[in-house]
Amino acid sequence: MANNVLTPTMQKVVVRFSGDSGDGMQLTGDMFSQASGQAGLDLTTIPDFPAEIRAPQGSVGGVSSFQIQFGGTEIYTPGDEVDVLVVMNPAALKANLRFLKLGGTIVADKDSFTSRNLKKADYEENPLEDKSLDEYKVIKAPATSLTKEALKDLGLENQAMTRSKNMFALGLVTYMFGRPLDTLIKFIEKKFSKKPVLVKANKLALEAGFNFALNTEIIGTSIIIPPAKMQKGTYRNIDGNTAIAWGFLAASENSGRKLSLCSYPITPASEILHELSARRDMGAIVFQAEDEIAAVCAAIGASFSGNLSITTTSGPGLSLKSEAIGLAVISEIPLVIVNVQRAGPSTGLPTKTEQSDLNQALYGRHGDAPLVVMAASSPDDCFNYSYEAARLAMEHSTPVILLSDTYLASGTSPWRIPENGDLPDIKIKDFEGSADEWLPYIRDPEFLTRYWKGPGDKGFEHRIGGLEKQVDTGNLTYEPENHEKMTKIREEKIAKIAKKLPRQSVVGAQSGKLLVIGWGSTHGAINTAVTEMLEEGEENIGFTHFNYINPLPENTEEVFSRFDQILVCELNNGQFANYLKTKFPKFNYRKYNKIQGQPFFTSEIKAEIINTLTN
Amino acid sequence: MQTDVKDKNEALTRKDFASDQNVRWCPGCGDYMILANMQKTFAQMDHAKEDFLSVSGIGCSSRITYYLDTYGIHSIHGRAIAVATGAKLANPELNVWVSTGDGDCMAIGGNHFIHACRRNIDLNIIIFNNKIYGMTKGQSSPTTPEGTKTKTAPEGNYENTFNIGEVAIGAGATFFARVPDKDPKLMEEVMMEAYRHKGTSVIEVLQNCVIFTDGIHEQITGKDTKDDNQLVLEHGKPMVFGKDQQYGLKLEGMKLKKAPYDENDPTFLKHDAHEPDSALQLALAKLELPDFPVSMGVIRKSDKPNFDKTVHDRIATVREHSSFESVSDLFNSGNTWDIE
């Protein structure tokens, strides 16, 4: 047997729960994440569902998994390789063994390794019994039978008892990391408060798993990871889509503008629509439109009516919206377009992650049609960037495209709930003169922002629209010089926003051999890779990560000029690197691209950095 | 929360709704009459001026937004109804008028049109039906009659056509009216009826394009033929037509039948615009020359909850039962933990 990779001094651990899609692995993972957070650890999670809504039970295609990395240090990714793999049936083992580190631990429900289940997973021999898992530490737990035994007095049917075996596994893993059960029990009591029998069943199963581990000493010593140094405050776990929805709610409250969300369902953005539909209880005006075009157009109408207006979509939907986004650009009205990217083109890999809509966000409109483009970089900072997108849209009366992706949408991380004063104020500049002095296209001199007037404002009646407008008056005109002037103004207006953006910062070396560049959701993997290399003694690398893409932060060029080499890592065929080349052509940009519908692994980034440094 | 429409705070006249922009339609265009009637009726409506919103798409019809001194959005081709829907939901107090054409609304904007009718959102939609694409210079539209020569059908149009009333009522519209551009009095009545109707009001104006389809409605609207070729409907009144009101309508089997009118014969039909079952209203909307006159006036006006009110009532109800007063309540709900 290989050495056990689990050691009592570990700083961070990756656990993957997997079972049939009916086995409750997502709930198990959620509960474990919750308890990890409460234990003061930082964490990042990612679910992995079967593509089909109802794949055949017990089949490899029907395996549902949930991966979490937690630790006493900052955790930016759900982890490359798994330390502990929990498998509730043979199919889960088959589907997930490739993620497990050599020497990693397998916790298996040995009762489910029946000849029938083995056959469904295409095993000829029982892998728990032959020598095929000798490279790993295998904990064979009779989860099904002991769960049934624990629940026998509750009067439940056989199937209902079996369903609680996920709690048995959770109890076992909880013991493994030396944690008490109380937070989990509270969770169960809350979750099933309307069904007392389920509270009992889940508690009994949880305790059975915990006690099994305790009594049989099958685990050995528990691994207790000291808490991470997290900022003081109240936390919760949040996924990227919920965080985006909540950022908009906060921006609506802080700006005093009602929230209108006009969207059409599309994977992987629909959860934002779902969450805000449920937030009608907070006054959100949610409109499920007949198509993507109607959705963005309705949002434009809502913006003219004076609401904070949002439309959410994914790549194909953004394509459909492009003409209308041009209308928002020329009308100079606030609008946030969220694109939760997936792998394209066309339907592409609709459930997989990619950063390949950057070009579309930057350039995907006819005419010269600049707007603000920004990207979130973790599930929890989706909140900050949706808030910022809303703030910039309203303060500068412009459309803003916020890029997220599948990886951020479904992943979770702990989010510190903002306290009073944490969020920047939203200061929408109003015209200070009277209606007689006002013209529809006069601007605030500092940022060239057109004032946001609309129906209900007495005396300010005016028309917006797609035809070119005369400077100041907003009258229609085909005058050649006017069009050129307005085109320049629209460009300058966006460029001026850079003054408000935070300066681009660098992790690691502030100057030297290599600057590693990322943007959006790859922050976790790149940051972890660079940080680990710095800890390992590499002194010549810096890392800078972009959330603001158009405009870029003002010191971008200066940062680039401090390094000999630049490596741009992104999950597409080099779009950000190409964009940077057009902005700052004097630098050479080495590209590292992964286009597999999968996030970066830390190990891949490290290897590429070493490769760059040595070549 | 939906609030009541605020009081109109001043008397308004037609001039208050005329913008300072030069009107640039071709001389003799039917659009002038529509503009004049909109300005005239707007002044009569019980809405404050700043709460009027004109939304239009693309085409000759849609330029009207620039000529009305209201808030306005001249949007993009086919999408006026979608834009108007968002604006109305955001602020249900607004009095929203959509101006669109047969190409803008029935071709590129067809999807938004049927869904507005289905939802019954409180918008007033005026479709300028000149049966041709005017601004793009004379291509066939979904309402171009068979045989009409166009730039895209030089030998004569060969596509089947939409009857706008049939599409609207079929899609669930609660209000449909038709009016010729040459009948200002009827147009004024119809616009006021549409204004009072809570729900999607569709007005088809048979509008003359002097350049590409000049005289296309002449058989219906001409001085000598209009009495025979128009059936002007009034709710609760017998459906009679002809110079001497000598014809009426009866049912024969499942079809309408034209017959010499006898006021003592109870089998002659009276118009019921309010009947929720749209079967006969649909039949009326479909009547066409030469066997029948073309129906004018309010063909259907039926009560059904309007979407904007439903949306805001629902928000009000769930808000009342919500434990979230502020975003902070939401953020701190559920499973949280403290780090000291």
Question: pLDDT category, B171, cuts 50, 70, 90?
Answer: very high
pLDDT number for residue B99: 98
Q: Domain holding B54: CATH number?
A: 3.40.50.970
A582: how many CB neighbours lie within 10 A of its CB?
8
Q: Is B95 on the interface with A (CB under 8 A)?
A: no
Per the domain annotation, does B287 fall within a domain?
no
Are the C-beta atoms of residues A21 and A52 closer than 8 Å to each other? Answer: no
Question: Which DSSP string do the residues of A467-500 spell out, in sequence order?
Answer: S-B-TBT--B---HHHHHHHHHHHHHHHHHGGGG
Which of B1, B89, B328 is nearest residue A260 as measured by Cβ atoms?
B89
The CA distance from A411 to A381, in Å, is 12
Average pLDDT over every residue of A22-36: 94
Instruction: Write out the residue limits of the CATH 3.40.920.10 domain(s) in chain A.
Output: 12-216
pLDDT tens-place string over residues A562-584: 999 999 999 999 999 999 999 99
Q: B87 vs A305: CB contact, 8 Å cut-off?
A: yes
Query: Which of B50, B61, B88 best probes binding to A when mutated, by most A CB atoms within 10 angstroms?
Result: B50
Peptide bond into B290 cis (omega under 30): yes
Are the C-beta atoms of residues B203 and B125 closer than 8 Å to each other? Answer: yes
Q: From edge to edge, which strands make up the β-sheet containing A548-550?
A: A285-288, A259-263, A308-313, A335-341, A399-405, A372-375, A548-550
Query: Which of B3, B65, B79 best probes binding to A when mutated, by most A CB atoms within 10 angstroms?
Result: B79
Q: B90 vs A418: CB contact, 8 Å cut-off?
A: no
Instruction: Give whole-number Cα distances, A107 to A6, A16, A48, A115, B243, in Å.
Output: 13, 10, 19, 19, 92
pLDDT number for residue B295: 98
Question: pLDDT category, B3, cuts 50, 70, 90?
Answer: very low
Whether the pLDDT of residue A607 is over 80: the answer is yes
Token pair of A251 as six digits: 């921006």
pLDDT tens-place string over residues A358-389: 999 999 999 999 999 999 999 999 999 999 99
Average pLDDT over every residue of B118-122: 98
Token pair of B22 as six digits: 């030069």
Which of B74, B84, B328 is nearest residue A465 as measured by Cβ atoms?
B74
Domain count within chain B: 1
Q: Are strands A507-508 and A512-519 parallel, antiparallel or unpaired?
A: unpaired
Whether the pLDDT of residue B5 is over 60: the answer is no
Instruction: Answer with the residue of higher pLDDT: A164 or A22.
Output: A164
Question: pLDDT category, A217, cuts 50, 70, 90?
Answer: confident
B324/chain A closest Cα distance in angstroms: 7
pLDDT number for residue A10: 84
Question: Which DSSP string do the residues of B9-48 spell out, in sequence order?
Answer: -S---GGGGB-SSPP-SPTT-THHHHHHHHHHHHHHSSS-
Q: To the nearest whole percent, how much of chain B has pLDDT over 90?
A: 96
Per the domain annotation, does B210 fall within a domain?
yes
pLDDT number for residue A4: 63
Q: B86 vs A302: CB contact, 8 Å cut-off?
A: yes
B92 to chain A: closest CA residue: A305
Give the residue among B139, B61, B51 at the shortest CA–CA distance from B90. Answer: B51
pLDDT tens-place string over residues B13-66: 999 999 999 999 999 999 999 999 999 999 999 999 999 999 999 999 999 999
Report the Cα A188 to chain-centroid distance in Å.
26
Give the residue among A73, A82, A78, A94 at the shortest CA–CA distance from A44. Answer: A78
Q: B75 vs A467: CB contact, 8 Å cut-off?
A: no
Question: pLDDT category, B340, cuts 50, 70, 90?
Answer: confident
pLDDT number for residue A220: 78
Per the domain annotation, does B32 fall within a domain?
yes
Calculate the average pLDDT of chain A.
95
Q: Is B146 on the interface with A (CB under 8 A)?
A: no
Average pLDDT over every residue of B156-176: 98
Tell me the sheet residues that pair with A43.
A70
Mention the CATH class of domain A12-216: alpha beta
The one-letter amino acid at A512: G
Whether the pLDDT of residue A189 is over 80: the answer is yes
Are the C-beta atoms of residues A379 and A412 closer than 8 Å to each other? Answer: yes
The one-letter amino acid at A246: W
Give the residue among A434, A409, A252, A241 at the shortest CA–CA distance from A334. Answer: A252
Give the residue among A106, A226, A80, A94 at the shortest CA–CA distance from A172. Answer: A106
Whether the pLDDT of residue B7 is over 80: the answer is no
Whether the pLDDT of residue B1 is over 60: the answer is no
pLDDT number for residue A8: 75
Question: pLDDT category, A48, cuts 50, 70, 90?
Answer: confident
Provide the domain limits for residue B195: 14-216
A463 to chain B: closest CA residue: B72
Lowest average pLDDT, out of A163-177, A217-231, A346-360, A555-569, goes to: A217-231
Residue A232, burial from CB neighbour count under 10 angstroms (0-12, 13-18, 19+): exposed
Q: A463 vs B334: CB contact, 8 Å cut-off?
A: no
What is the C-alpha R_g of chain B? 22
Q: A455 vs B94: CB contact, 8 Å cut-off?
A: yes
**In chain A, what is the greatest distance between 2 CA atoms, to the nearest angstrom?**
88
B316/chain A closest Cα distance in angstroms: 8
pLDDT number for residue A9: 77
Q: A40 vs B339: CB contact, 8 Å cut-off?
A: yes
- Find residues 51-70 of chain B whose CB sits inside 8 Å of chain A: 51-55, 58, 65-66, 69-70
Token pair of B243 as six digits: 């110079």
Out of 3.90.1570.10, 3.40.50.920, 3.30.420.40, 3.90.1150.50, select the CATH number for domain A507-614.
3.40.50.920
Are the C-beta atoms of residues A45 and A70 closer than 8 Å to each other? Answer: no
Calculate the average pLDDT of chain B.
96
Token pair of A32 as six digits: 């474990």
B109 to chain A: closest CA residue: A294
The one-letter amino acid at A570: E
Residues 6 or more apart whose Cβ sits within 8 Å of residue A96 = A16, A18, A63, A65, A82, A85, A87
Q: Which CATH number is A235-416 given?
A: 3.40.50.970
Q: Is B309 on the interface with A (CB under 8 A)?
A: no
Tell me the sheet residues that pair with A260.
A285, A309
Per the domain annotation, does B232 fall within a domain?
no
pTM: 0.96
Q: A299 vs B86: CB contact, 8 Å cut-off?
A: yes
Query: Which of B54, B56, B89, B333 best probes binding to A when mutated, by most A CB atoms within 10 angstroms?
Result: B89
Whether the pLDDT of residue A52 is over 70: the answer is no
Instruction: Write out the residue limits of the CATH 3.40.50.970 domain(s) in chain A.
Output: 235-416
pLDDT number for residue A6: 77
Q: What ipTM did this prediction achieve?
A: 0.97
Q: Are strands A63-71 and A12-20 parallel, antiparallel or unpaired?
A: antiparallel
Q: B331 vs A418: CB contact, 8 Å cut-off?
A: yes
The CA distance from A454 to A398, in Å, is 15
pLDDT number for residue B6: 58
Whether the pLDDT of residue A308 is over 60: the answer is yes
Which of B21, B76, B315 is nearest residue A283 as measured by Cβ atoms?
B315
pLDDT number for residue A221: 80
Residue B242, burial from CB neighbour count under 10 angstroms (0-12, 13-18, 19+): middle
Average pLDDT over every residue of A431-447: 96
pLDDT number for residue A1: 42
The CA distance from B338 to A39, in Å, is 10
pLDDT tens-place string over residues A477-487: 999 999 999 99
Count of residues in chain A: 615
The CA distance from A607 to A470, in Å, is 55
pLDDT number for residue B4: 47
Q: How far does chain A reach from its first CA to its final CA, in angstroms?
A: 39
Token pair of A570 as six digits: 């992104």
Question: pLDDT category, A102, cuts 50, 70, 90?
Answer: very high
Q: Is B243 on the interface with A (CB under 8 A)?
A: no
Question: Which DSSP string do the residues of B42-103 spell out, in sequence order?
Answer: HHHSSS-GGGEEEEE-SSTGGGHHHHBSSEEEE--TT-HHHHHHHHHHH-TT-EEEEEEEHH
Per the domain annotation, does B199 fall within a domain?
yes
The CA distance from A116 to A273, in Å, is 42
Instruction: Write out the residue limits of the CATH 3.40.50.920 domain(s) in chain A.
Output: 507-614
The one-letter amino acid at A329: V
pLDDT number for residue A51: 66
Whether the pLDDT of residue A540 is over 60: the answer is yes
Are the C-beta atoms of residues A227 and A190 closer than 8 Å to each other? Answer: no
CA atoms within 13 A on the CB side of A509: 20
Q: B337 vs A231: CB contact, 8 Å cut-off?
A: no
Lowest average pLDDT, out of A141-145, A213-217, A261-265, B327-331, goes to: A213-217
The CA distance from B161 to A510, in Å, is 69
